[in-house]
Structure 1
């Protein structure tokens, strides 16, 4: 396979060329590109969050929202799924099902008891034994309300917390937090009703459903579904605004033509959105690392620790501050492609089947694909996408070897494996630092760069010898 680095030029100071692009990129464009990762986690067609954002903003314009409220609405809908990864493992545990297809299909049921029962029977435990499947179904039937409340609360509250880390207003945070409440009080997690639910939440829910049914069945399907839920799920005033907005020329056409993003980023909130600074980019990358790490209990904190270890190696090997900052972003986002992999596979205690292994091996390529969509992350997209390559050519997804693997990838790979070895995994307990370094030493030259391994040893050794860090803390178990 052709090296992805064939067209990538890594200069001694990669961020220099990147800086001007960061100063020219709006917040709306940056988050619009990253929303692709949220669509993958929810099992939605690419562009779902952006299309819902278009629909929601058109509703807001129809309702004559002022500039500030319209801007908050725009980002509420665009980022409505920020917490989507946080309940994935629990869905797999409770329903014995693939979390991604579960989430995708759950959004299409009409909310009636009959539809919910059919969904439970159709989705629960088909790859499990009969007795295990029966136990899971009985548990869901007995505790369905509590389970739904738990899953939605985890998702929405986590999303609101991440929005806060990304410096969004309390209005945006609350809009995300109460996304799944219904006008008639039948929603979750608190059963809020009527105007107690933030307006941004009410509009976001209509927008989400409209896009899902439009993507699946076209304009008439979207229109029928929104109207059918008037006064139950949906605020009648929001439905009426949707009905008026969708009759305007260009409403559906913008969603259906090949220049949709141009339309989305031409909306007033996007044009007025802040230009991202270097520090703001850091905060956004760190927030998306939280989304990634929430995917599995076995990867909690992984992206942040890998970033620390990568930076320790880079400092030891003499990279300057700007270069290290650039590489830290690649480390924070190196596993963003895992959002496309089911937790049934990620958290499996046994050996993956061949199809499951193919899915696992696809995640670095997904990372590269997502990051290539973001102008200021494009320079390191291939770095992130190559973190499972090996010097002997036996890595994945590209089969790179030797000099095809650039130094930044070698640093990231050593950091990634070191953290994986010293953390619990579904198939084994965490190793000690000494055991992890023994494995890295054994595969130095075949899988790992010896200079990178030596640099990490030196950095960890200095930490262990410092007065404020004791040896047990270095096991990161």
Structure 2
């Protein structure tokens, strides 16, 4: 069996948050490292305009966590536009600022490939209710992001910066139609940094600068665009964005006076916060990560594991589905059976989980345990088709808890099953997918 060290190495908050930001990139359909690169861009702008050390600290976490609420509107985008939420979000960020460009994008993407009548109905709904729809989704995203930032004990300045990310300099943005300097400075910098990274990745430095200039005075603060021009004149500015060391560079940018090594309590807090991000991806998974975490912790204690080990396992259980942030909501919300391509994307969520958690020094030991929750004792699981001898007890616990909670919860393709029905199905899978000892303890745990 695989066994992981439970010793938590000294690690900074910046290192952990930077690593988790890759999960937010997945949800937004952005190339890996978008949040990291946006942080580099925004911090250079902050340096040019002379922000204080304390302000730079708040700006730093606003930039890394600007998309903290991004999973909350994924299912709604899928429902309203009948489109892949990740592709829709990615494409929308390259659309120009004019109403004509926005409408062309929305109409070209809404219900594409659907029967004409179905497509016309979806587009008609957007035409009639587009403003209300946009307001609803942005308020949901911004509120969720700011609320999670508060649970992570960030300052009001960081929370406000995240909440007002989608405000525009000319007052055309949301959620409050704020204008010019009424928009928090960190929000203005974060939006500019986001635009620059999207267009830099899309078409290079010149395109990024041209787009920032085009949006100056419309979406973007003209003074900040001038600061960007000054910052980007340094040779290191663009080469750093393409460097394989960009993440370590950004971690080193964290102002020391706002930094600290993490204790066990705060690591729990981070795991729970990103568990909330995971569960917000679909209305069918609300609370799933928390429930699997609590039940896994209870079972670990039942197996006689000490407090440190049960705490460690709970984090792995809470984060086991973080890779689902990279799965389209068209798949997660599908009421029928998945086709082969959809199953391939769904199975990839375990690979994403391994990649995200493997980046985090303090949590890297969780990666193999959490990512293996769809492995089976008979070797027919995924992503690695491990055999029973390679599947740890910790993973077997998470697998049993995940399986149970999924069965007793509503899913797009069926209603929730009763406890007795769920346990009967799991009993039939003992020795193939479910560990017998885990099932017996699960039965006692859910009755406790």
Query: Smaller-chain TM-score range?
Result: over 0.9
Q: Distance in 2 between matches of 1:268 and 1:442?
A: 52
Hey, what does 2:51 align to over in structure 1? 65
Hey, what does 1:32 align to over in structure 2? 18
Hey, what does 1:470 align to over in structure 2? none
Q: How does 1:257-336 map to 2 (within 5 A)?
A: 257-269=243-255, 272-336=258-322
Structure 1 stretches of at least 4 aligned residues deviating more than 4 Å after TM superposition: none
Deviation at 1:271, TM superposition (A): 7.8
Task: State yes or no: 1:75 paired with 2:61.
Answer: yes
Question: 8 Å contact 1:391–1:405 — kept in the other structure?
Answer: yes
Deviation at 1:272, TM superposition (A): 4.9
Task: State yes or no: 1:91 paired with 2:91.
Answer: no
Find the partner of 1:426 among 377, 397, 412: 412
Deviations 1:49-81 (A, max 9, x none): 000001101111111111111110110011000
- Judged with a 3 Å threshold, the aligned counterparts in structure 2 of structure 1 residues 137 and 245 are, in CA distance, closer, same or farther, namely same
Specify the SS of the correspondent of 2:335. coil
Hey, what does 1:466 align to over in structure 2? none
Hey, what does 2:131 align to over in structure 1? 145
Specify the SS of the correspondent of 1:76. helix
Task: State yes or no: 1:184 paired with 2:170.
Answer: yes
Specify the SS of the correspondent of 2:223. helix
Q: Distance in 2 between matches of 1:412 and 1:424?
A: 19
**Length-normalised TM-score, structure 1:** 0.92
Structure 1, gaps ≥5 residues long: 464-477
Find the partner of 1:235 among 221, 224, 247: 221
Question: 8 Å contact 1:264–1:270 — kept in the other structure?
Answer: no
Question: 8 Å contact 2:196–2:209 — kept in the other structure?
Answer: yes
Specify the SS of the correspondent of 1:375. coil
Task: State yes or no: 1:193 paired with 2:173.
Answer: no
Deviation at 1:168, TM superposition (A): 0.5
Question: 8 Å contact 1:389–1:400 — kept in the other structure?
Answer: yes
Deviation at 1:282, TM superposition (A): 0.6
Q: Distance in 2 between matches of 1:456 and 1:26?
A: 36
Question: 8 Å contact 2:351–2:383 — kept in the other structure?
Answer: yes
Hey, what does 2:440 align to over in structure 1? 454
Deviation at 1:311, TM superposition (A): 1.2
Find the partner of 2:366 among 355, 361, 380: 380
Structure 2, gaps ≥5 residues long: none
Deviation at 1:270, TM superposition (A): 6.2
Deviation at 1:128, TM superposition (A): 2.3
Deviations 1:428-457 (A, max 9, x none): 111111111111111111211111000011
Q: State the Cα RMSD in Å.
A: 1.2
Question: 8 Å contact 1:298–1:425 — kept in the other structure?
Answer: yes
Q: Distance in 2 between matches of 1:257 and 1:389?
A: 35
Specify the SS of the correspondent of 2:255. helix
Task: State yes or no: 1:51 paired with 2:37.
Answer: yes
Deviation at 1:265, TM superposition (A): 2.2
Question: 8 Å contact 2:373–2:398 — kept in the other structure?
Answer: yes
Q: Distance in 1 between matches of 2:204 and 2:257?
A: 29
After alignment, is 263-272 or 439-448 more displaced?
263-272
Deviation at 1:344, TM superposition (A): 0.2
Q: How does 1:161-240 map to 2 (within 5 A)?
A: 161-240=147-226
Deviation at 1:268, TM superposition (A): 4.9
Question: 8 Å contact 2:36–2:246 — kept in the other structure?
Answer: no
Aligned residues: 448
Hey, what does 2:399 align to over in structure 1? 413
Q: Distance in 2 between matches of 1:265 and 1:302?
A: 31
Q: Distance in 2 between matches of 1:270 and 1:429?
A: 51
Deviation at 1:198, TM superposition (A): 0.4
Q: Distance in 1 between matches of 2:244 and 2:73?
A: 33
Task: State yes or no: 1:401 paired with 2:411.
Answer: no
Deviation at 1:129, TM superposition (A): 2.1
Question: 8 Å contact 1:265–1:271 — kept in the other structure?
Answer: no
Deviations 1:16-42 (A, max 9, x none): xx22x1xx2111111111111111111
**Length-normalised TM-score, structure 2:** 0.98
Specify the SS of the correspondent of 2:305. coil
Question: 8 Å contact 2:14–2:254 — kept in the other structure?
Answer: no
Deviation at 1:127, TM superposition (A): 3.5
